[in-house]
Amino acid sequence: MISVEKYEGLTARIAILNEEIKRQDVEFYLFVPGELDFSKNVLSEDDFYNTVLSNTRTYFTSQYHLPLVHSRLASRDKLPSDKYRVSLSLYAYQYSLSLEKTTHRFFDSLKDLEEEDAVEQLEVITDMAVEILRRLRRYKPKDDSLIKYFNNIDNYLSWLTEQRFLSLVAHMPRSAAFKPIREQLIKFCESEAAYRLAQNYNSLKAQNDPTRMVNKMRLARRLIEYPVTIRQNDVVLGQTLNKIAKGTATGLVMIFVTIAIIRMRSFLGEITLSFVLAMAGLYALREIFKDDLRDVLWRWIRKGRPKWRKLFTDPTSGQRIGNQLEWLDYIPFDKIPDDVRKVRRGKLRQREESVVRIKMVTQMSTTKFLSGYDMTREVWRVDFRPFSRLMARGKQRFYTLNEGKVTQESIDKRHQFNLISKQKNQDGSMTLQRWKITVNRSKVVDVEEVFG
């Protein structure tokens, strides 16, 4: 399962759910608009990988009741503290993701919803959040070593829920239909603020300083993610092959230079000015062609081979639980697979676009996963800032005629990227998905999945 959504600013987020399988093959094809004149000369493959892409991987579970079961066991002193912490962190992490995603989607779809449907969605969001927090607080541990950890998570989830609900209140329409749900959300936020005050979760300085409070909660979020985030060690492949390519290129060039020197010595005789100038010319040619020959050999040796490997380690046990091989290259239009080209459509525009292919082959040892968890969630962040620098500045004027009067608007220039995923299923079949990513110079404007 793959999903794509806009994130912060010029960033889009790709989420890949590894569902109880040991091996997963995924390819992504990013189609860059031709008007940006983007190529490997602008950003090399290695620079693209290191500046545009970043990723994290966490444990994930569809058994949402599991952390609550662990909470009950912990309250009865029947669960080790490390397992309880990981379980509670995963529960808080998944709740935070769900709440953020749900509110973002509500904002995006608000203009297309009828008032009754919008109010109904808000009621569902509110009821679910209230119920989740209620269940969490029902099983408060008794062990002193766990209560501090529980308080940190409870404090963060209370604050996050309040912030997301206040953002809903700030952006919802002011019509009478939304008045009851607005009052309900405000009442809930007031109760959560009073709850944190009663529990003495935050100091008076933090309560009176928004910057300090936000920084504290950002740290709390990192503490929540830490036990469930799988450690990964990035390894650049081909270092030995690169040295072989350099040595081979140098050796071939030196063979040519040596033969040329012997021929010149027999032709020119003793060391003269002509001989010295010829030698200087040979060594100049050597320096010119050595690097070119090395690059040609390196591209030939590296073609089709993975360029990076990620080694995954369980954060709790320290055991190796899997690895991932990764490829990244710029490919011409003629090399795009037929099924991907069919999904992309728009042949004329497609021929003008630059295409970046990213491939990942993941192998995981699910038997070494943390007990109770059988899948992981990988998140790739795509930073569009290198592309935004290639976008033209300024706005376009748009004129309309309304009752005999001409009005004008400033329209920002936008560019549409296409992202296609190709995922191999267990039965050998392929699942292809396509998204349109609209970007301007300052942000990712919209992400839309294209069906059919």
- Domain locations in the chain? 2-236+306-450, 239-302
Angle between helix 81-109 and helix 144-171 axes, rounded to 10 deg = 0
**pLDDT confidence bin for 275, thresholds 50/70/90:** low
- CA dist 399 and 407 (Å) reads 6
pTM recorded for the entire structure:
0.79
Give 68 or 51, the one with higher predicted confidence: 51
Lowest-confidence range among 52-66, 175-189, 401-415? Answer: 52-66
Q: Is the pLDDT of residue 190 over 90?
A: yes
Of the CA atoms within 13 Å of residue 74, those in its CB half-sphere come to: 29
pLDDT value of residue 397: 80
197-252 tens-digit pLDDT: 999 999 888 888 999 999 999 999 998 888 888 899 988 876 666 666 667 766 76
* Lowest mean pLDDT across 91-100, 256-265, 401-410, 434-443: 256-265
Q: Please state, for a pLDDT cut of 90, what percent of the chain lies above it.
A: 28
Q: What angle do helix axes 210-225 and 144-171 make, rounded to 10 degrees? A: 120
pLDDT computed for residue 349 by the predictor: 63
Res 69: pLDDT: 46
Give the list of residues 6+ apart from residue 5 with CB closer than 8 angstroms, or none: 12, 13, 15, 101, 104, 447
The pLDDT value recorded for residue 438 is: 94
**CB within 8 A of 110, min separation 6: which ones?**
118, 171, 172, 173
Q: What is the chain's mean pLDDT, rounded?
A: 82
Residue 393 confidence (pLDDT): 79
pLDDT of 73 reads 45
Which pLDDT value is given to residue 265? 66
For residues 328-332, average pLDDT: 91
Phi, psi of 244 (to 5 degrees): -65, -40
